[in-house]
Structure 1
Amino acid sequence: MALWCENMALPPRVLVAPRPSGANGQGNILLLRHPKLEEETQYLFTDGQLHEFNWFKERYGSWFLGDYVCEDGSVYYCTLVDPIFVLLPLFEAARMSNGKDLGKFRQLDEILYIEGYPGYQHLMSIAGKHMELVCEVKEVANMKFFRLDDSKVLTWMCCKVHSIKEAISKLGKNYAAQGERELLKEAVQIIRENLKDEPWLMVLCKKLQLDISEINDMAKTNDTSFCADSSPVPAPARPSEGGVGNSSAKSSKGRPAKKLKPEVGSKNIKDMFRRVTRSGT
């Protein structure tokens, strides 16, 4: 009996992701730059929401997919990411500020045109609404022009930190018992995964009266802890850019897709559950 997956170019993988509501039942996998690392990174864009891919694998395990056994027991899962994180480096570069010069106002299509990265064009429908939170906006002849505003970015980052801090404090007794300063560090540690140290993380830490070196040291400790617990088995290739159902293993530039390493977000999640479990909650 023929297997349902025998004609696939690559072995099947397990992906936990929202089901697109569109008529074709597909989302778009976009090749973008990671806002902190500046590496090519793939995101899922569906129903006006942007998701990042994470990867998790236990040392031993496999999946039974109908009549097929997937030897690779890893799982991909998508989590929502605020588009402002991804768009922030583009808007920062587009204003071309210099010293006291606050920079230029630009239109969205000009800002989102990045040579070699057509994926940003898919974000045109949501970019304006989100970036108005962190930009000055001028409207001329029914056309909107945007310029990043540092004070608005700082306000937005502080709101993010305090929202995450409130969420962390409700995870369990282990977190609820932490002091205000420790919770702030945890929250900043989470959003630093998508923020460059200069200028944003430095400005944020200064505003919250935190030591940026201490925040970065926390990140190194978490990375070391995660790597010690991770499986040595290499990760499979990322999904390719295009539709979710696309089985091609190449990016839009024709290069083989990179091996997927455990995403930064999955490190925090795994560490979080491990510590909460130890506390007996």
Structure 2
Amino acid sequence: MRKDGSLYISTPVDPIFIFLPIFCNARLKKGKEQGMFRQIDEILFNNDYPSYQCLVSLAEQSMQLVCEVKEIGSLKFFRLDDSKVLSWLCCKVQHLKTALIKLDKNYAAQEEKETLKEAVSILGEYLKDEPWLRLLCSHLKLDLNETMKESPRMEDDLLFPEKSVASSHPHKGKGGTAWTSNGKQSKKLKAETDSHNIKDMFRRISRRAP
């Protein structure tokens, strides 16, 4: 909690989300070619950010799930595999969809495709549109542009669904003033102008990668 009242919350993140843009660039894929196999320390090498080397063991452990791995003697060489990434993303979507339904009964009441779109939309905060979101939407037979227009519900909606339903349907009183069902005057949401979402962070990481 800061003096201005702002609150920073950190939650566990699958490290694959962080390494994905780095490994994608590192394979130097051209057209339909699969790209190059490279060692982990070579993939993470960056003169401007030498501390990347501290992540070698974490990357080696986590990225085997989405990479082809070749061993030559004691050396391991990695190349990102699109089909493995897609399988991993589909698994993430299904877990997220299940979690949404458990957290909020309103998700269980709506069509499965709508819940699927919202799950992909939330996941999209961690991914670049090209190629991963487009690949995922194509596999799930969803329209990318339509899906990303979906606004993920706020955490408060998931934790307190009965409160969010009441406050999301204000009625107008005299003079055109909007009031919520609990008798309080509704407030206009203030647009956040200095937001730095996780997608921006991953975009910066991918630009720094070799």
Q: Does 1:277 align with 2:163?
A: yes
User: Which structure is higher in helix share?
Assistant: 2
Q: Does 1:201 align with 2:133?
A: yes
Q: Is the 8 A contact 1:158 1:204 kept in 2?
A: yes
Q: Provide the C-alpha distance between the structure 1 equivalents of 2:75 and 2:104, rounded to a whole number of angstroms.
A: 48
Q: Provide the C-alpha distance between the structure 2 equivalents of 1:106 and 1:211, rounded to a whole number of angstroms.
A: 34
Structure 1 match to 2:91: 159
Give the fraction of aligned pairs with identical amino acids, expressed as a percent: 54
Range that drifts further, 194-203 or 109-118: 109-118
- TM-score w.r.t. the length of structure 1 is 0.55
Q: Provide the C-alpha distance between the structure 2 equivalents of 1:124 and 1:172, rounded to a whole number of angstroms.
A: 39
Q: Is the 8 A contact 2:67 2:80 kept in 1?
A: yes
**Partner SS for 1:139:** strand
Range that drifts further, 210-219 or 149-158: 210-219
Structure 2 match to 1:178: 110
**Partner SS for 2:36:** coil
Q: Is the 8 A contact 2:104 2:161 kept in 1?
A: no
Q: Provide the C-alpha distance between the structure 2 equivalents of 1:106 and 1:100, rounded to a whole number of angstroms.
A: 18
Structure 1 match to 2:16: 84
Between the two proteins, the alignment pairs up a number of residues equal to 166
Q: Provide the C-alpha distance between the structure 1 equivalents of 2:99 and 2:59, rounded to a whole number of angstroms.
A: 26
Q: Deviations over 1:38-58 (max 9, x none)?
A: xxxxxxxxxxxxxxxxxxxxx
Q: CA deviation at 1:279?
A: 3.8
Q: Provide the C-alpha distance between the structure 2 equivalents of 1:155 and 1:120, rounded to a whole number of angstroms.
A: 27
User: Which structure is higher in strand share?
Assistant: 1
**Partner SS for 1:78:** coil
Q: Deviations over 1:53-85 (max 9, x none)?
A: xxxxxxxxxxxxxxxxx6322221111111111
Structure 2 match to 1:75: 7
Q: Is the 8 A contact 1:134 1:153 kept in 2?
A: yes
Q: Provide the C-alpha distance between the structure 2 equivalents of 1:111 and 1:276, rounded to a whole number of angstroms.
A: 48
RMSD over aligned Cα atoms: 2.0
Q: Is the 8 A contact 2:27 2:79 kept in 1?
A: yes
5+ long unaligned stretches in structure 1: 1-13, 15-69, 223-266
Structure 1 match to 2:59: 127
5+ long unaligned stretches in structure 2: 167-210
Q: Deviations over 1:159-195 (max 9, x none)?
A: 0000100111101222221221011111101110011
